[in-house]
Amino acid sequence: IAYGGFLKARGPTDINTFAAGVLLAGDLAKSGAADRGAVLLDELKKNGVESSPAAADYFVSRAVVSRFQGRAADAEGAAREAIRRTSPSSAPAGESDAIASRTFVLAQVLAMQPSKRADAERTLAEARGLARRTYGPDHPRTREMEAYQLPAAR
């Protein structure tokens, strides 16, 4: 609803439209409609999201959608681009909750590729450390990352 409202009220190139569309695409993928999420991301890309302030979030959603579509290489590239485009914050060592979360997405994506299992394990450990430092050890997001288990190696 938010995406449609922003699209109608503010147009296809407004930052609020981009932000709502990016969130919707990820939610679609997580609910079993990854192909619909991909179509929405393609539309956002056509409207310039990659050069907007929502670009890093766009690449996170692109990684999530690609992951749910089983497209590991595309998912990895998008996750790495999301991290690259994340601005450091004033947190210790420039870390931010966005970097912790995006590193966690990268670990999940790397785990899709048997040849990258060791990278996935290292990246997951990095994401957990970032989460402990930025959220604290008792935060729900930290607990989610601590509880996450990489899929069994194939």
What is the model's pLDDT at position 88? 66
**Cα atoms found within 13 Å of the Cα of residue 114, Cβ hemisphere only:** 3
Residue for token pair 């992951």: 67
What is the model's pLDDT at position 152? 79
pTM passes above 0.85: yes
Q: Could you read off the pLDDT of 16-55 as tens digits, one per residue? A: 999 999 999 999 999 999 999 999 999 999 999 999 989 9
* 92 pLDDT above the threshold of 70: no
Number of Cβ atoms within 10 Å of the Cβ of 154: 6
- DSSP string for residues in 69-130: TT-HHHHHHHHHHHHHTPPP-SSGGG--HHHHHHHHHHHHHHTTSGGGHHHHHHHHHHHHHH
Q: Could you read off the pLDDT of 95-128 as tens digits, one per residue? A: 577 889 999 999 999 999 999 999 999 999 999 9
Question: Tokens standing for 81?
Answer: 């681009």
Instruction: Report the C-alpha gap between 9 and 129 in whole angstroms.
Output: 41
What is the model's pLDDT at position 134? 86
Cα 85 to the chain's mean position, in Å?
12
Instruction: Report the C-alpha gap between 63 and 49 in whole angstroms.
Output: 15
pLDDT band at 87 (very low <50, low <70, confident <90, very high): confident
Q: Minimum mean pLDDT among 22-26, 77-81, 83-87, 104-108: which range?
A: 83-87
Q: Are 123 and 103 in contact (CB under 8 A)?
A: yes
What is the model's pLDDT at position 86? 85
10 Å CB burial of residue 138 (0-12, 13-18, 19+) is exposed
